[in-house]
């Protein structure tokens, strides 16, 4: 046993080892359930864990250094580097998410605990979202909200992720977002639009933070990640990270590989923050042959070799969560495809050096205090096809009894505008009412005619869970054709849809909880099954009676996913399953499992996905997913 001696001045007091698993993530007050929490301010937390007998014990001041002497002859005095928590880097505004019970927001620890490797997999937990993919991680990935893939928008640190891939059609391939690089995701569920707000990972401590993730699984899936982050004494920041994965190249699986890297440099003090961020992803997608004979599908999904880079420079003053704040950002995205369209049926031959770019000039600001939030944003998108100006305004107020949120956006390209109002009334601690209404008008697909959508719900509290039910109406719209799967798919008008829904989220007994939701529309429609549901039973416990030091955590769950037949729009078709020439993927059942053990600074995890009926699930017509997907690995955090 090695005994370490402290300097005399430090013997009187001791500071215990910091065991916070993710001290540089946005810290939150835990809400019932593993997938949701409420934003809190970042702060240092006192550690109650006892110091190990053989550990060097620094002085109580977080900014002091201490000399440590060893017993070995010839040892010289060394110093433990001082650890300081610096002012946080700037972060984008996160909107209030109102509704009955838990909402869909995750911090960094919770994100990885869901088992999701992509944004598409994460969205499978959200009511009203239907996901589409043809294979493994490198395959095209899309999601439709209330049956519309064109109404799913993603914002990264305040910049909107533009769709630059010509093969994606009118919807964003959600694989463009690197989920592994994030520390927070908040989902705002409007009446007819899903807005996903993401913050990238940042650090506050001068102690070096590093982490290694290793994952392996079926279909020859191997994934590796590495993180490094450090703050310096004068507020500077250095962060780098990378992820590399590879999967089977079997043409019946839809494999491929990707290498993605990011870096951040910046500086921050109490009032000001300046930083630059760079993300580069190089993805190779293998050929995916159809599993069913389809006369309309000639060559399946061809290979694609492409790169995407997203970068920005940002200056900010103030905190969007408190007081007056302003931010200015210049962002640029570059998409380069190294394979032409020659293998895609129906598309003209194209150069193998397709390049598309987007530059955004963004100015945001607002005021937050006393439960009141006022903010505005001006975005100018400079695309190769022209410029698009978008102005957004938001006002919200939150109180225990009543919460209101107003959102308005006007896009100059087509003179369209959207107004959305959301309210939540909680007259009793165990009863709540909530609703959201959206109006789109001016330059819409149906001329100047207003399009009204609404979602209303009521809920009651049972222990720590909320049980709710309501009615949802989505207005008529034009949905895009997902040509990444087949060029026969085309944009088409879809009729209005109405249907009841129900949900149950939160812990129902001690550390055991549920995440259940179901939506039944009046009929099946484009990208919208008539009936879709998700039922999950989970446990999330730290077993404090056995591990009062909080060095242990268990998160495990088993879920059943169900969807009925889903229609895809084609030229000359009509929106009904009775169309003899229509194309639809048929109903499916799947079982999703996850289990994760946290021990000190390591997390060991197992994730699985299995088709039940049929055993090979079909999300996209003619493409079966593998009958089983099993992934397991470890994440290990280090503090130097």
In the chain, pLDDT over 70 holds for what percent of residues?
A: 82
The pLDDT-based confidence of 446 (bands split at 50, 70, 90) is: low
Is residue 17 over pLDDT 70? no
pLDDT of residue 352: 55
Q: How many CB atoms lie within 10 A of CB 259?
A: 16
Domain topology for 105-639: Maltoporin; Chain A (2.40.170)
Is residue 5 over pLDDT 60? no
Is residue 299 over pLDDT 90? no
Average pLDDT of the segment spanning 10-22: 41
Per-residue model confidence as pLDDT tens digits over 232-265? 999 999 999 999 999 987 887 888 999 999 999 9
Is residue 493 over pLDDT 60? yes
Residues 36, 105 contacting (CB under 8 angstroms):
yes
**H helix or E strand, kind and range, residue 184:** strand 182-189
Cis ω before 614 (30° cut-off from 0): yes
Average pLDDT of the segment spanning 393-422: 90
pLDDT of residue 227: 97
Paired sense of beta strands 194-200 and 152-156, if any = parallel
The domain ranges of the chain are 105-639
Average pLDDT, the chain: 85
The pLDDT-based confidence of 323 (bands split at 50, 70, 90) is: very high
In angstroms, what is the C-alpha Rg of the chain? 25
pLDDT of residue 298: 53
pTM of the predicted model, to two decimals?
0.86
Reference 123, options 214, 200, 195, 199; nearest CA is 195
CA distances, 114 to each of 47, 60, 125, 431 (Å): 26, 36, 9, 28
């Amino acid at each position: 046993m090695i005994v370490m001696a402290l300097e005399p001045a430090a013997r009187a007091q001791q500071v215990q080892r910091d065991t916070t698993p993710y001290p540089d993530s946005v810290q939150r007050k835990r809400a019932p359930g593993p997938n949701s929490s409420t934003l809190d301010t970042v702060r240092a937390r006192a550690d109650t864990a006892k110091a190990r007998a053989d550990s060097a014990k620094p002085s109580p001041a977080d900014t002091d250094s201490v000399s440590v002497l060893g017993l070995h002859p010839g040892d010289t005095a060394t110093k433990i580097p001082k650890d300081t928590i610096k002012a946080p880097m700037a972060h984008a505004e996160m909107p209030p998410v109102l509704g009955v019970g838990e909402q869909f927001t995750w911090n960094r620890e919770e994100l990885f605990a869901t088992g999701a490797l992509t944004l598409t997999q994460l969205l499978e937990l959200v009511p009203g979202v239907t996901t589409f993919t043809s294979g493994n991680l490198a395959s095209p990935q899309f999601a439709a909200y209330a049956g519309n893939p064109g109404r799913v928008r993603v914002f990264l640190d305040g910049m909107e992720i533009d769709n630059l891939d010509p093969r994606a059609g009118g919807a964003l391939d959600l694989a463009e977002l690197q989920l592994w690089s994030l520390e927070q995701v908040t989902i705002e569920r409007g009446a007819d639009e899903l807005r996903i707000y993401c913050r990238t990972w940042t650090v506050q401590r001068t102690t070096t933070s590093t982490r290694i993730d290793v994952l392996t699984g079926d279909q020859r899936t191997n994934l590796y990640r590495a993180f490094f982050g450090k703050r310096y004494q004068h507020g500077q920041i250095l962060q780098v990270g990378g992820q590399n994965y590879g999967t089977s190249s079997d043409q019946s699986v839809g494999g491929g590989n990707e290498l993605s890297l990011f870096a951040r440099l910046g500086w921050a003090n109490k009032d000001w923050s300046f930083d630059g961020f760079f993300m580069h992803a190089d993805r190779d997608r293998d050929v995916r042959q159809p599993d069913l004979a389809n006369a309309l599908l000639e060559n399946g999904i061809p290979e694609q070799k492409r790169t995407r880079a997203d970068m920005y420079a940002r200056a900010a003053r103030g905190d969007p969560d408190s007081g007056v704040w302003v931010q200015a950002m210049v962002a640029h995205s570059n998409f380069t495809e190294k394979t032409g369209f020659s293998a895609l049926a129906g598309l003209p031959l194209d150069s193998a050096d397709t390049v598309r770019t987007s530059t955004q000039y963004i100015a945001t600001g607002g005021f937050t205090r006393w439960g009141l939030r006022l903010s505005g944003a001006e975005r100018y998108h400079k695309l190769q096809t022209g410029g698009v100006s978008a102005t957004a305004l938001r006002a919200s107020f939150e109180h225990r009894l009543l919460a209101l949120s107003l959102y308005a956006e006007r896009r100059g390209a087509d003179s369209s505008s959207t107004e959305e109002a959301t309210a939540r009334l909680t007259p009793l601690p165990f009863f709540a009412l909530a609703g959201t209404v959206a109006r789109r008008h001016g330059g819409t697909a149906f001329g100047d005619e207003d399009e009204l959508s609404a979602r209303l719900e009521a809920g009651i509290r049972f222990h720590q869970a909320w049980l709710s039910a309501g009615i949802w109406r989505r207005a008529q719209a034009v949905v895009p054709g997902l040509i990444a799967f087949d060029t026969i798919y085309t944009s088409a008008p879809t009729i209005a849809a109405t249907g009841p829904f129900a949900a149950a989220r939160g812990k129902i007994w001690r550390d055991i909880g549920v995440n259940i939701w179901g939506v039944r529309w009046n009929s099946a429609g484009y990208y919208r099954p008539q009936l879709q549901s998700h039922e999950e039973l989970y446990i999330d416990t730290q077993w404090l009676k056995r591990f009062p030091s909080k060095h242990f955590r268990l998160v495990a769950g088993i879920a059943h996913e169900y969807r009925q037949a889903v229609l895809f729009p084609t030229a000359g078709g009509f929106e009904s399953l009775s169309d003899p020439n229509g194309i639809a993927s048929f109903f499916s059942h799947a079982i999703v499992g996850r289990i994760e053990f946290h021990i000190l600074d390591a997390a060991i995890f197992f994730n699985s996905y299995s088709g039940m009926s049929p055993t090979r699930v079909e999300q996209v017509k003619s493409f079966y997913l593998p009958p089983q997907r099993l992934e397991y690995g470890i994440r290990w955090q280090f503090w130097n």
